[in-house]
Structure formats: structure tokens, C-alpha cells
Structure 1
Amino acid sequence: DKIGELGFNPEEIAKLSVGRLNKQGKAFLDQIIRSAVDVDKLDFIVRDTYHTGAEYGYIDVFRLLHTIDVLDENLAVNVGALSALESFIIARIESFRSIYFHRVSRAVQIMLAMAMEKAKDELGLVNFKTPEEYLAFNDYTVWTKLKESEKSKEIIENLEKRKLLKCAFERTFYEKDRTVSRIFEFEEIRNQIRNEIAQKAGVEAEKVIIDVPTLPSVPYRHSVLMEPMEIPVFYKTKDGEKIPKRLSEVSGIFDVLKGFMNIIRVYTEAPYREKVGQAAVEVLGGTPYSAQISF
């Protein structure tokens, strides 16, 4: 193959492309692609916030790039760029909260997933055996097939008409660990809560959808030398020596932000929104989404 002819190992290139090379003594190679401050995040946060019109995505990317260095085989940021690094972390949290985890965006994702689940066997959506077969399932092809299938047709038509699932209940909270999100990872627990809400609301269980997106405020692991949710930084002495530090040691903002953002949402169809919201409050506590006021 072409990669081999150029003198490179195709398997190593494949692993490096997703930040999983795990080469002894060269952790920074993976961290360029997959870490707390990697090129992917520096790209998509700026690009996506720009194209969505968000105001918080203005990050001094070049300042960060010029101050990143290798320290004990790990990428580390010079504390001289502390404000740029803090802005980047805050922008990442906001982009997930306001774009990727936005209630309408999640509603569309849920409906599309429901349509694919209903029609996957009929359309063979998961039966591909070669890369070519997988690549044949592009956006247009999958959408057309889902619209033609009797099992998923109604959902796709509702998406086209913007008749989306409605958020009846929402609660956001921050924790230092993943206890809450791990609880909701168990399908039987989600189903139990869903069934209880449906029973109290007097609707069919399938009309209630529990969505629990979770995000570590800092990408979970950056350095092989530090605990999860820490980012290595350094400052230079007058003689050029690099002194390593944890970001939480030099940034009060970062120390406060460390943890997990958990969002619990309950979705349903428009006619059931109010009573499902009230039932969700009884089961989960808080305020129904329809009664919340933004300031």
C-alpha cells in the first residue's frame, strides 16, 4: 500500500490518527490528537461557535499553540498563556451546554436514533461487512431509506415538519465525580424512572424518553503523569528550567470547574408535555421545563 511504500507502518499511522499509538516515552504524540488541549478541540470549538453565532468561542488559539511544550514526554502549557487556557476550557463547557447538548438538538438526535432503531433490521443499517458498504450509508441514503420504511416514515416526516419531541423537564447540576451519570447508564434504572413518570402522567411508557447527557468539564485524561481531570502546565526559571505544575495549583477558575456536568431531561410529544413535566417533578424533583424562566 501507499503508506508502506513511503516507509511508514500503516498500523502505527492508524493508531496515531486517533491518539492511541501508546509509544513508550512519546505520550505527546497521542496528546496532539487526543488530550485536554488537542488540535481537534482547538478547531471544532472555534469553528462551531462561529458558525452557530455563539459569543464565547473567541479563543487565542495561536497563543496556546505557541506556548505548548513537551515536559517529561507530555504536552504542557506555559502559565504565561493561563488566561487563554482558562478561556478555552470555559468555551468548551459552554459549547456543549449550548450547542451539542441543546435541548432541541438532542430532541432531533433522539428522534433520528428512534427511527434508525425501528428500521435497522428491515434496512440492514448495521449489517455492512466492508468499508465500502459502510460508506454507502451516507446522510442522503440513510434519510431516504428511513423515509421509505413504514416503520420509521412517521418519525422522519415529523422531523421534516419540525414536529419535534418537547422537553418537559430539565435539571442541570455539577458533581465532582460521575456517580449520578453512572447511575443513569443502567438501562433498567432509566426504564424504571420512565415507567414511573408515565404512570403518574397517565401516558404510555414509550411516550416518555429519558435523556442524560454528561460531560467532564475537563477532558478526562491528559497526562500519563497526573490524575484524571488535570492539565500539566509549567513556568520557566531565569535559566530556562521548566518547573511542572498542575493547572489546579495556579488557576482558581479551573479548580472550581473540575467535575462533571450532568443534564437530566425528560422528553415527550407536545400534547403530553405539561402532564409529563408535572409527573417528572414528582419523581425527580425540581421545576418542569415549561415553568422555568430565563433571566
Structure 2
Amino acid sequence: MKKNYLDIVDPIHDFIRVYDHELNIIDTPIFQRLRRIRQLSGAHLTYPAAQHTRFEHSLGVMHIASQAGQALNEKGIIKSDDIEILRLAGLLHDIGHGPFSHLFEEVIQQKKFSHEDFGKEIILKSEIGDSLSKSGYDKKLITKIAFGDSKLQYMNEIISGALSADMMDYLLRDGYFTGAEHAQIDHKRITQSLDVHKKKLALEKSALYSFESMMHSRYQMFKAVYFHKTVRAAEVMLLEALRLSSDEFGFTSFNIHEYVKLTDEYVLSTLISSKSSKLKRAKQFAEDYQNRKLLKCVFERILTSRTNLGKTKTNELRSSISKKSKIDESEIFVDSSVTPSIPLAPSKNESKHIILITNENGKSTAQEMPISQIPVVSAISGFMNILRIYTHQKNRKKVEIAAKSILGGLK
């Protein structure tokens, strides 16, 4: 009998089973382009093995979403058809990512776009949507669940949020490929312990310590990897190159056919081979990035406020440091890296509670527990906010003295 699936070898999950109708989507050029978008944009210049991409992460999210769906199906909460919808939503949750993943997001946000907007457009209006419809799936419903917009909140939360397949896969995968020892997550315990209460995703209380451990792992990964000062140095350069070339590439024109050509190497090689005088500075950043000639961090401060400094304050700071150091503003870079310590819910609001289910004597009770009351988690709850000033090696001393003089008393 002919098999209707393929088993893909994966270092995180051992084997990821992919069915024929999923393979039809994976084999499309639009999905294959995710192989050319690194999961951690510039982190490989600090952690050389961090070459993994959005492609294998998407397969991993599908796999964990499937395990979560299976656990809920065995508890009689969802139907077996819903497992397939979760798998497809997990597979497609990152389909709209642009080059350099979240860095590209920072550029298009200024035009009020997000990778989710591109993702919705791709699923609904490309061959991927056609493939879904042909296989008998509701592409609109899958799009809504993939991007947290469906009325079934617990389905949204399996894809993104504090108990999501997305976070479980990226922490495990990023930890493995960077070699960071922080991301030790018992994802199988968490998925097996999932439940639903009042249409919201819940967790059996006995798995609370696994949730605590995962939140702590995420916090450590931000400190050690995602916000590492050298990782951010590379990303600040990429960001500058992307901003300077935004008009030239038409990054924000929202043309799907042009958009799907944009991958990490395509953007870098286009910039490096450019003869345009308008792109001279962007080209220099791209070349320096490629040759790992990175900016130097001359000032770093962990802030207690939760807000990103914003464009106005960043520009003011840049201007003040420039005047004091007598170094041109274009040579000074202010980086304000902010993230909530607890991941956002699919609604993009901060996750404030976790629903815990206790099963005793055949009776099930639910308790909505504020995350701030979970000991390990409360210690890290709030926002991680790091302000850094970068410049080129030749200006290092002057900018450092000016930054320390201006920012010395900053809280």
C-alpha cells in the first residue's frame, strides 16, 4: 500500500511526519523561499552554527501543534479534523516573513505593515491558498488561526502565545543551533498537559514547573542570544542597510510577487553589487556585515522603563552625542531593544494569567492564576529593555566619552 506521508529527519524532534497535502504546500516556491531566510538574522556572526532557517522552524511548529492537538483530541476537546487545521496553521504561521526575519519587521512597521499582513495575503491569494482549497480545507479559517484572529481562542494560543508551539520550537531550535545551554524545555510534558477552559488554553497544574522552566529559558535566551551586544551590532548594521534601501527595493509597496523574491542573500547580494550612488552607504553596511566588520558597542544600560525610546528620543540622543563627541550623526547608532519578559498573547497584549487545571477524585477545577504569582516567573516578569550606543571602531573613544557623559544618570 502506498504511503501518503513522508518522515523528515530533524535534530530537534527526531522525525517530523508530513502528509501529501502538506507536502504540496511545502514544495511550492513560496514556501521553499523560507529556506533562504535565517531564523536569527545576524546571530550566526556570533554563534557560527546558527544557520537554521524559517523553513525547518515552520515544520517544527507544525509538529508541536500536532502533538498539542492530539492531546486535546484524546481529552475529547477537539475533533481529529481540528488537528489537521492546527498543523496547517503551524506550518504557515511564518510564511509572510521577509528577509532577516524580525529586522525586516522593524522596517515595514513604519509603514504600518507586518509580516502577518503579508502572510495573510500569501495564504489567501497565492498557489498555497489554491492548494489548501483543492485539498478541501478552509483557507480563511487556517489564515485566522495562523495569525491569532480566529474566534477559537485556544486554537490561536496553540500557534502563538505563552503556551505556543511556535515558542517551544524556536527556543529548542535556537538553543540547539547557537549552542546556548539555556533552552532546556520539556515541551512534551507541556503539550500532553494542555487543556481548555472557557475557550481559553489551559495547563494541568502538575506541569506548572515545566511552564516556569520554559519562561526562564526564554528570558535567558533573550539575555544570552537575541539581545547579545555583538548579535545586535550585526543587526543594527543590517537594519541601517534595509532602511537606506527601502525605497529602492520597494519593501513596503505590498506587491506579493516582488515580495516573495526577497530573501537574506538576495538583498545582500543586490546591495553589494549595486552601482547606484543612492545605495552607496547601504552597500558599505552590507559589505561590512558580510565581512564581519561590525560596529562597536561603547555604552550599555539595562533600563527599568518598559518603553522603547522611540524615534524622536533616539534621534535626540544621537544628535546630543554627535555634538558632544564632534562625530557625525550618521556614524552614531542608538539601539533600544525591548521585549516583554512573558510572551504576548495572540491578541498582541501581554499575557497576564495562566489557567491551571487540577484533576482530583475524577473532578476537574480551574484556577486563573496571575503570572506575577508564579515564583520563578514573577522574578523576571515585566520588560527587558537594553539601551546601547554603537559606532565604528575609529570613533570608539570619542563616542564612548560623550555617551557616558550624557547618559551617566539614565534610569
Q: Same fold (TM over 0.5)?
A: yes
Tell me, in whole angstroms, the C-alpha distance in 2 between the residues paired with 1:274 and 1:29: 53
Tell me, in whole angstroms, the C-alpha distance in 2 between the residues paired with 1:112 and 1:249: 36
1:221 aligns with 2:350: no
Counterpart of 2:389 in structure 1 is: 266
2:297 to 167, 187, 211: 167
1:117-128 → structure 2 map (5 Å cutoff): 117-127=243-253
CA change 1:257–1:122 in 2 (3 A) is: closer
Moved more, 32-41 or 112-121: 112-121
What letter is aligned with 1:11? K
Tell me, in whole angstroms, the C-alpha distance in 1 between the residues paired with 2:378 and 2:329: 41
Tell me, in whole angstroms, the C-alpha distance in 1 between the residues paired with 2:292 and 2:378: 41
CA change 1:220–1:136 in 2 (3 A) is: closer
Deviations 1:168-187, CA, capped at 9 Å, x for gaps: 11111445xx3x42xx12x1
Structure 1 residue 193, shift from structure 2 partner = 1.1
Moved more, 117-126 or 277-286: 117-126
Counterpart of 1:8 in structure 2 is: 137
Tell me, in whole angstroms, the C-alpha distance in 1 between the residues paired with 2:239 and 2:332: 15
CA change 1:28–1:124 in 2 (3 A) is: closer
Deviations 1:116-160, CA, capped at 9 Å, x for gaps: 22233344444462x332112222221111002242322222122
Tell me, in whole angstroms, the C-alpha distance in 2 between the residues paired with 1:233 and 1:173: 32
Counterpart of 1:245 in structure 2 is: 368
Query: RMSD of aligned C-alpha atoms?
Result: 2.4
Counterpart of 2:191 in structure 1 is: 65
Tell me, in whole angstroms, the C-alpha distance in 2 between the residues paired with 1:250 and 1:282: 40
1:32 aligns with 2:158: yes
Q: What SS does the aligned partner of 1:213 have? A: strand
Q: Which runs of 5+ in 2 are unaligned?
A: 1-129
Moved more, 165-174 or 239-248: 239-248
Give the structure-2-normalised TM-score: 0.62
Moved more, 242-251 or 145-154: 242-251
2:200 to 70, 74, 78: 74
1:199 aligns with 2:328: no
CA change 1:155–1:74 in 2 (3 A) is: same
Counterpart of 2:70 in structure 1 is: none
Tell me, in whole angstroms, the C-alpha distance in 2 between the residues paired with 1:32 and 1:279: 47
Q: What SS does the aligned partner of 1:218 have? A: coil
Identity over aligned pairs, percent: 32
Give the structure-1-normalised TM-score: 0.85
1:86 aligns with 2:212: yes
Deviations 1:182-216, CA, capped at 9 Å, x for gaps: xx12x122111111111111211111111111010
Tell me, in whole angstroms, the C-alpha distance in 2 between the residues paired with 1:57 and 1:118: 35
1:255 aligns with 2:378: yes
Bigger relative contact order (CA 8 A; separation at least 6): 1
Tell me, in whole angstroms, the C-alpha distance in 2 between the residues paired with 1:122 and 1:251: 49
Structure 1 residue 233, shift from structure 2 partner = 2.0
Tell me, in whole angstroms, the C-alpha distance in 2 between the residues paired with 1:138 and 1:56: 29
Deviations 1:88-138, CA, capped at 9 Å, x for gaps: 001111112211111111111121122222233344444462x33211222
1:50 aligns with 2:179: no
Counterpart of 1:290 in structure 2 is: none
Structure 1: 4+ residue segments shifted above 6 A: none
1:190 aligns with 2:314: yes
| Count of residues paired in the alignment | 276
CA change 1:62–1:247 in 2 (3 A) is: farther
Are the equivalent residues in 1 in contact too, given 2:148–2:346 (CA < 8 A)? no
Tell me, in whole angstroms, the C-alpha distance in 2 between the residues paired with 1:190 and 1:270: 21
